[in-house]
Amino acid sequence: MRKKIYMAAGYNTISLGTGRKEFHPKKPRPGIEHYIKEAGQETLKMIKGAKNVDEGVIGNFMASRFVKQAHLGAFLPIIDENLKFKPSLRVEGACASGGLSLISGIKSVLSDSADVVLSMGVEVQNSVKAIYGADILAGAGWFNDRKDGHAYFFPGQFSNRAGAYFEKFGREKTRKGLATWYKNAIENARLCSTSQEFENKTKDLEAVGLSEPTPKSFTDNLNVFDCSKVSDGASAIAILSEEGLAKAGIPKSEAVEVVGFSLKVNNITEQPEDSTILQTVHEATKEALKNAGISINDVATIEVHDCFTIAGVLMVEALGIAKHGEGADYVAKGNTSRTGEFPMNTTGGLIGWGHPTGATGVHQAVTIWEQLTGKAGDAQIEIPANRPYGMTVNMGGDDKTIVAIVYKQTS
């Protein structure tokens, strides 16, 4: 890259939804402005205030339908009056909206138009019943397919991927891998106080994960535990140049360096060529690693977009960590657990931490920043000295918009 780019001062609100003691479906809940203010204000505290922010960007998928609120860029000044009249915009790329917020901030710093960008992601989705939410979320895909799709559109899409994987590589061993992914997600979420599954007390997680799908009420090949939950929340992080770090008073040891990134998109109107492959994820992650000048084996921990357990398994293969058809076995052996070869989603990922759609990409970045700077608390894993890198993979729709970013520890 033409100049050094850093991220620091990350913050996540709680991921609110079923499973959190604060959540009650029949009681009033915080609005979208609450989450924007909380995440934004906490990040500002860590960078010595709003005066140091040059630009803001908010990633969001569908607030215009979930809460009937558009024009989110103009919410930046509610965080702090000193953000009034500063450039701000909202970006959207379905579930990759948070990742696009990061990409936008990175490019602003690279272009010299900003030294400090406040990058945020937010979504409030518990405003509608699940079946209506499924219709809204279908907008992350080609909506012309909606009339022929499953009532729960995206669970149906990934159920089809799981079914194709079962047929090609074996159902029993694949279900074992999916159940292990779920187990790891909840175990990790229990170590992070902001996660949606923080209070999950289930004893035999693998048995729950192995629950048989119920096609009459849900999907053919996935059970409800294979799916990320409906979540409300926001995440924020500062993207800074070296001058921005100095201005914010942040030592490099408290930041991570962005050493490679990629944004790839695929044709939203087309079905995947092979339902057992995440082709766009493969292309984006390959390019991000190439730009960083490293291989996947140099990476200590990865945040992948496990909107469904089958997506987690397919991500492992798309990253080149396991061969095609061997991802489920690789996961089942514990290799992606917090003590495995490639620890993934150390605060629970989308399955365990939650999936406030527009916030997910930023949440992933916050988690990697925490891990590489030793700020992850009970969720902290060991970062080997010879693998000082982290990576995030944020997916919009069914493998259609992918943001992959590689981060490095600084000294």
Instruction: Indicate the average pLDDT of the chain.
Output: 97
In this structure, are residues 390 and 154 in contact, taking their beta carbons and an 8 Å threshold?
no
Query: pLDDT digits over 90-137, tens only?
Result: 999 999 999 999 999 999 999 999 999 999 999 999 999 888 998 999
DSSP string of 309-361? Answer: HHHHHHHHHHTTSS-TT-HHHHHHTTTTSTTSSS-B-TT-HHHHT---GGGHH
Distance in angstroms (rounded) separating the CA atoms of residues 104 and 129: 32
Portion of the chain with pLDDT greater than 90, in percent: 95
Portion of the chain with pLDDT greater than 70, in percent: 100
What DSSP element (H or E) covers 78?
Answer: helix 76-79
Distance in angstroms (rounded) separating the CA atoms of residues 255 and 383: 15
pLDDT band at 60 (very low <50, low <70, confident <90, very high): very high
Which pLDDT belongs to residue 408? 98
Paired sense of beta strands 256-265 and 299-303, if any? unpaired
Average pLDDT over residues 399-409: 98
| Structure-block tokens of residue 153 | 């559109």
Distance in angstroms (rounded) separating the CA atoms of residues 338 and 340: 6
SS3 labels along 241-294: CHHHHHHHCCCHHHCEEEEEEEEEECCCCCCCCCCCCCHHHHHHHHHHHHHHCC
By CB atoms closer than 10 A (0-12, 13-18, 19+), residue 203 is exposed
Alpha-carbon distances of 370 from 9, 26, 181, 256, 400, rounded to whole Å: 9, 35, 22, 9, 28
Paired sense of beta strands 401-409 and 116-123, if any? unpaired
Which pLDDT belongs to residue 110? 98
Distance of CA 152 to the CA centre of its chain: 21
pTM: 0.98
Which pLDDT belongs to residue 140? 94
Which pLDDT belongs to residue 131? 82
Which pLDDT belongs to residue 112? 97
pLDDT band at 146 (very low <50, low <70, confident <90, very high): confident
What CATH number belongs to 5-128+230-253? 3.40.47.10
**Alpha-helical segments (H) within 138-241:** 153-169, 171-189, 205-209
In this structure, are residues 327 and 165 in contact, taking their beta carbons and an 8 Å threshold?
no
pLDDT band at 253 (very low <50, low <70, confident <90, very high): very high
Which pLDDT belongs to residue 174? 98
Reply yes or no on whether the pLDDT at 292 is more than 80: yes
Reply yes or no on whether the pLDDT at 220 is more than 80: yes
Query: pLDDT digits over 299-352, tens only?
Result: 999 999 999 999 999 999 999 999 999 999 999 999 999 999 999 999 999 999
Tell me how many degrees the CA angle 212-326-168 measures, rounded to the nearest 5: 60
For residue 126, how many other CB atoms are within 10 A of its CB? 21
Alpha-carbon distances of 124 from 15, 154, 193, 298, 373, rounded to whole Å: 10, 18, 19, 36, 29
Query: pLDDT digits over 84-97, tens only?
Result: 999 999 999 999 99
For residue 224, how many other CB atoms are within 10 A of its CB? 15
Reply yes or no on whether the pLDDT at 411 is more than 80: no
Distance in angstroms (rounded) separating the CA atoms of residues 315 and 347: 17
| Residue recorded with tokens 């493998």 | 399
Question: Which residues, in sequence order, are bridge partners of residue 93?
Answer: 95
